[in-house]
Amino acid sequence: MSTPVEPKPAASVVLVRAAPPGAAEPLEVYMIRRNKGMKFLGGFYAFPGGKVDPADGAPEALARCRGLGVPEAEAIFPGHAGAPALAFWVTAVRELLEESGVLLACDAAGRPLDARAAPVAAGVERCRRALMAGEAPLAALVAREGWSLDLSGLRYFSHFITPRSSPIRFTARFFLCRMPAGQEPRLFTEETSEGFWIHPGAGYRRYLAGELAMAEPAEYGLAYLAQFGSLEDLWAAHADGRHKLHGIIDRIDVFWDGFDWKRNRFPR
């Protein structure tokens, strides 16, 4: 057997909100479809995310964070591959902005941004345009607006490592995020071809029907979210800072080759 590729650190955001009254399910989750031409999971449906960049773990980026500090992040899970744990949270904020236009930030007084105000909305747009143009790291762009990265809206959800057989591998941390007030995700086509809200149970059933191609993080993430009766219940269940899904797929590949996952699913 060839030597497995070393997995790269990555982070993703599971953006959730309460469904409208009378909806078939109490929750909605935001999903994107990766462009078909992408080398890793091209055409698959997933949550916004990507690899940890060196700038995400730089001292100036960590110093620009509010709502969670370096010691608290390391207590939730240790950093690895040269990246401090808090860098994964920074990556989550950056990738969410890149792929959906949603920015988790606060003003100098620690108050969450109100993007319904025109100057704030313009600042968010400036940050994203400059970030995508490679003008400066996210922390520097946010600092230019007089803001900080607000990590209080993220709660650690799951950890997945790409199987050893894959030529491209990630060790990815997933974070829950309640949809911030005054913002709405938008579709940007640099890396994605679709972006939409969906009930987690409905998305899971469409996966089982072969309508939505997904890798394990999205598949099991949707099935897990479908078990909750409200956004408040979901949020409270993740107050302990522990991951709920831990997908080290290699263990399954080696020992349970004949296990029928389609007959042994999460409830609902």
Q: What is the pLDDT of residues 18-62, one digit of tens each?
A: 999 999 999 999 999 998 888 887 789 999 999 999 999 999 999
Q: Largest alpha-carbon pair distance within the chain?
A: 57
Assess whether pLDDT exceeds 50 at residue 261: no
CATH superfamily of 8-263: Nucleoside Triphosphate Pyrophosphohydrolase (3.90.79.10)
Q: What is the dihedral of CA 34, 37, 38, 44, to 10 degrees?
A: 30
Q: β-pairing, 45-46 with 245-248?
A: unpaired
Under a CB-based contact definition with an 8 Å cutoff, are residues 193 and 35 in contact? yes
Assess whether pLDDT exceeds 70 at residue 238: yes
| Residue of 105, 92, 179 lying closest to 142 (CA atoms) | 105
Assess whether pLDDT exceeds 80 at residue 236: yes
The token duo for 9 is 């650190």
Place of tokens 């108050």: 111
Query: Which residues are registered as beta bridge partners of 248?
Result: 161
The token duo for 27 is 């929750």
Q: How far apart are CA 201 and CA 267, in angstroms?
A: 10
